Amino acid sequence: MRDIPTLQADDTAIRLAGLSKRFAAGGTLALSDVSLEVRSGEIFGIVGRSGAGKSTLVRTVNLLERPDTGAVTVLGQDLLGLDPEALRAARRGIGMVFQHFNLHHRRTVAENIAFPLEIAGIPRAERVARVAELLPLVGLEAKRDAYPAQLSGGQKQRVGIARALASRPRILLCDEATSALDPETTAEILALIRDLRDRLQLTVLLITHEMAVVKSICDRVAVMEAGRVIEQGPVLEVFTRPRQETTRRFVAEVIGHGVPAGTLARLPAPRPGEARRLVQVLFLGPHSTRAVISEASRDFGINLDIAAGRIDSIAGEPFGVMALAAYGPAEALEAAFAWMRALGLVIEEIAA
Ligand SMILES: Nc1ncnc2c1ncn2[C@@H]1O[C@H](COP(=O)(O)OP(=O)(O)OP(=O)(O)O)[C@@H](O)[C@H]1O
C-alpha cells in the first residue's frame, strides 16, 4: 500500500476548485462552479435541500463522481491527474460512510469491517488484528460475530464507520450518515464521529439536510442550492449572521427565530409621544443580556420588554435569540440599538 502524504495541522485537506457536473446533455447542472476548501482536522458540513447537489459534490472527493470541469485536490494530490493504481491508493486515504450503511447481510460485523482490507489484498492475520483495534473504537466488541440483521440502526452505522476507518484514512466522508436514525441515536453517532476526529486526527466532510447536525458537530459549513455553494463560513457566523434567505430558513429551523404566535399582538401600544420598535436580538459569547438590557434601559431612558427568548449553544459558544419590545423616544431607541450593535449584538427589526 502506498504511503498517504502527511500534512501539517493547518493545511488544506480537501480543495475543490471550480467543479461543474451535468449528468445529461442539456440537463441541469448538478454542480455549478463549486469551490471550497476543507482544512485538515476540521468537521466541515454541507447542508442543502434534496437535489441541491450535496451527494454529487461529496462523491467528487474520492472521484466516485468525476466532475466535467474543475480540480479535486486531496491531501495535496490532484486526483484527476492520477493513474488508476495511484487513484486506488489515494482512495484508501478517504473513508466513506453512507446513509443506509451498505452492509453485507451475509457477513458478520467483523467480516464487514474487514471487507475493504480484503479487497486491498491485506493478509488475513493483519485484517484480524485491524478489526480487533476497530471494534472497541466504535464500541462493538460484543457484536463481533453478529450479523447486520441482529443490529440496531445505530450499531449498523458503527459498523459502517469502522469499515470506513479500516484502511486508516485521513479523511472521512459522511453522506447523510445519520438521516436514517432516530434523534437519540443520531446524537450518539455524531458524538462518535467527533470523538474519532479528535482521537484519529481525521478531517471530516459531511453532508446533511439537517441544520441541527451542522449545529451539533461542524466547525464550518457550506450551504448548497441548485448546484451552487451560496454561503459558507464558520458555523457560529453562519448561524448568527446568515446572509442568504435559504440559509436563514435553515437556521430558523434549528434556533427558532421569531416569536410565538400572538405574542406581538398582546404587546401594549406605545404611549403618546413615544415610539415602539420590535426587534430580534442575537447575542453571542460573553454578553450578559440582562446587564445589556438594564444598562440600555437606564442610560437611554427607554423601556425594554423581553417578548420571547432562548439561550442555546453553537460550536460550544453560548448563543441567544430574543425578541424585544422597546418603548421610548424614537431617537433614544435608535441610539440604544446603535450602542447594542457596537457591543456586537445583531439586531433586526421584526414586523409587528
Ligand atoms: N446519477 C445521476 N444521474 C442523473 N442525474 C443525477 C444523478 N445523480 C444526481 N443527479 C441529479 O443531480 C442533481 C443533484 O443531486 P444530488 O443527489 O447530488 O443532490 P442532493 O443534494 O444530494 O440531494 P439528495 O439528498 O436528495 O440526494 C439532482 O437534480 C439529481 O437529480
Q: List pLDDT tens digits, range 216-272.
A: 999 999 999 999 999 999 998 888 778 888 887 887 777 665 567 677 778 888 899
Protein residue whose Cα sits closest to atom 13 of ligand 1: 30
Q: List pLDDT tens digits, range 63-90.
A: 999 999 999 999 999 999 999 999 999 9
| Residue 2 in this model has a pLDDT that exceeds 50 | no
Answer whether 54 contacts ligand 1 (Cβ < 6 A).
Answer: yes
CATH class assigned to 12-235: alpha beta
Report CA(25)–ligand 1 centroid distance (Å). 15
More confident residue, 2 or 232: 232
Domain with CATH 3.40.50.300 in the chain: 12-235
Q: What is the mean pLDDT of residues 160-183?
A: 95
Q: List pLDDT tens digits, range 183-200.
A: 999 999 999 999 999 999
Q: Which ligand 1 atom is the nearest neighbour of the CA of 65?
A: 1
Report CA(34)–ligand 1 centroid distance (Å). 15
Answer whether 51 contacts ligand 1 (Cβ < 6 A).
Answer: yes
Q: Which ligand 1 atom is the nearest neighbour of the CA of 49?
A: 21
Q: Which ligand 1 atom is the nearest neighbour of the CA of 209?
A: 25
Would you state the pLDDT for residue 148? 96
Instruction: Categorize the per-residue pLDDT at 1 as very low, low, confident or very high, splitting at 50, 70 and 90.
Output: very low
Q: Which ligand 1 atom is the nearest neighbour of the CA of 227?
A: 14
- pTM as predicted: 0.81
Report CA(224)–ligand 1 centroid distance (Å). 12
**ipTM > 0.90?**
yes
Would you state the pLDDT for residue 300? 95
- CA 207, chain centre distance (Å): 7
Answer whether 208 contacts ligand 1 (Cβ < 6 A).
Answer: no
Domain with CATH 3.30.70.260 in the chain: 264-349
Fold for domain 264-349? Alpha-Beta Plaits (3.30.70)
Contact 61, 234 (CB under 8 A): no
Answer whether 60 contacts ligand 1 (Cβ < 6 A).
Answer: no
